[in-house]
Amino acid sequence: MGKWHKRALRAAAVIGVIALAGWLWLKPATAPEKLIFTGGPIVTMNPLQPTAEALYVNDGRIAGVGTLAAMRAVAEGSGGADEVDMNGASLMPGLIEPHSHPIAAAQFAATIDASGFAHKNRAEVMQTLREGVTDSTRDWVLAFGWDPVMIDDLEPPTLAELDALSPDKPLLILTQMMHDAYANSAAMEAAGIVGDVANPPAGEFVRDENGLLTGTVREVGAIGVLFSAMPPPPAGANDLLLSLFFADYAKAGYTTVATMGPVGNDADPISLLKRRAGNPHSPVQTIIYGLPHQITASQTPEANAATAPVVGVKFWMDGSPYAGGAAVADPYETTPLTTERLHLKPGHRGAVMIPVADYEAQFADYHARGFQIATHVQGEMAVERVLDVAERVLAANPRADHRHRLEHNALITAEQLARAHALDITTSFFIDHVRFYGDKLPALFGQERTERYMPIGTALRAGHRVTVHSDTPATPIGPLSSLVTMLARQPNSGGPVVGAGETLSREQALRALTINGARQLGLESERGSLEVGKQADLVMLSSNLVTVPVNEIENTVVLGTWINGQPVDTRKATLTNAGLLWDIVVGMIF
Ligand SMILES: [Zn+2]
pLDDT level of residue 541 (50, 70, 90 thresholds)? very high
Q: Could you tell me the distance, in angstroms and rounded to a whole number, from the CA of residue 75 to the centre of ligand 1?
A: 43
Say which CATH architecture domain 34-85 belongs to: Roll (2.30)
pLDDT tens-digit map of 183-199: 999 999 999 999 999 99
Q: Which residue has the higher pLDDT, 310 or 266?
A: 310
- CATH topology agreement for domains 34-85 and 308-523: no
Q: Does residue 548 register a pLDDT over 70?
A: yes
- pLDDT for the residue numbered 455: 98
Q: What is the DSSP letter of 543?
A: S
* Overall CATH class of domain 308-523: alpha beta
Q: Could you tell me the distance, in angstroms and rounded to a whole number, from the CA of residue 469 to the centre of ligand 1?
A: 9
- pLDDT for the residue numbered 262: 87
Give me the residue spans of the domains in the chain.
34-85, 102-229, 308-523
- pLDDT for the residue numbered 495: 85
Instruction: Average the pLDDT over each of 34-48, 260-274, 558-572 and give the range with the smallest value.
Output: 260-274
Q: Could you tell me the distance, in angstroms and rounded to a whole number, from the CA of residue 106 to the centre of ligand 1?
A: 14
Q: Could you tell me the distance, in angstroms and rounded to a whole number, from the CA of residue 62 to the centre of ligand 1?
A: 32
Q: Are 457 and 503 in contact (CB under 8 A)?
A: yes
Q: Could you tell me the distance, in angstroms and rounded to a whole number, from the CA of residue 99 to the centre of ligand 1?
A: 6
Q: Could you tell me the distance, in angstroms and rounded to a whole number, from the CA of residue 262 to the centre of ligand 1?
A: 9
Q: Could you tell me the distance, in angstroms and rounded to a whole number, from the CA of residue 429 to the centre of ligand 1?
A: 11
Q: Could you tell me the distance, in angstroms and rounded to a whole number, from the CA of residue 2 to the centre of ligand 1?
A: 65
Q: Which residue has the higher pLDDT, 261 or 392?
A: 392
Q: Could you tell me the distance, in angstroms and rounded to a whole number, from the CA of residue 260 to the centre of ligand 1?
A: 6
Q: Does residue 449 register a pLDDT over 60?
A: yes
Q: Could you tell me the distance, in angstroms and rounded to a whole number, from the CA of residue 301 to the centre of ligand 1?
A: 20
What are the percentages of helix, strand and coil residues in the chain, rounded to 5?
Answer: 40, 20, 40
What is the pTM for the complete model shown? 0.92
Q: Could you tell me the distance, in angstroms and rounded to a whole number, from the CA of residue 290 to the centre of ligand 1?
A: 12
- pLDDT for the residue numbered 1: 47
pLDDT level of residue 202 (50, 70, 90 thresholds)? confident
pLDDT level of residue 66 (50, 70, 90 thresholds)? very high
Q: Does residue 342 register a pLDDT over 90?
A: no
Q: Could you tell me the distance, in angstroms and rounded to a whole number, from the CA of residue 101 to the centre of ligand 1?
A: 6
In the chain, % of residues over pLDDT 70: 96
Average pLDDT over residues 247-261: 97
Q: Could you tell me the distance, in angstroms and rounded to a whole number, from the CA of residue 473 to the centre of ligand 1?
A: 8
End-to-end Cα, the chain, rounded Å: 34
Q: Does residue 358 register a pLDDT over 50?
A: yes
Long-range contacts of range 60-66, CB-CB < 8 Å, 24 or more positions apart?
A: 60/535, 60/536, 60/564, 60/565, 60/566, 61/533, 61/534, 61/535, 61/536, 61/564, 61/565, 62/530, 62/531, 62/532, 62/533, 62/534, 62/535, 62/536, 63/34, 63/532, 64/532, 65/530, 65/531, 65/532
- pLDDT for the residue numbered 7: 66
Average per-residue pLDDT for the chain: 93
Average pLDDT over residues 412-429: 98
Q: Could you tell me the distance, in angstroms and rounded to a whole number, from the CA of residue 82 to the centre of ligand 1?
A: 41
**Kind plus residue range of the DSSP H or E element containing 38:** strand 34-43
Q: Could you tell me the distance, in angstroms and rounded to a whole number, from the CA of residue 263 to the centre of ligand 1?
A: 9
Average pLDDT over residues 128-155: 92
What's the Cα-to-Cα distance from 41 to each of 86, 88, 500, 555, rounded to whole Å? 9, 7, 30, 18
Q: Does residue 290 register a pLDDT over 60?
A: yes
* Overall CATH class of domain 102-229: alpha beta
Q: Could you tell me the distance, in angstroms and rounded to a whole number, from the CA of residue 502 to the centre of ligand 1?
A: 22
Q: Map residue 13 onto helix, strand or coil.
A: helix
Each residue of 488-508: b (16+ CB within 10 Å) or e? bbbbbeeeeebbeebbbebeb
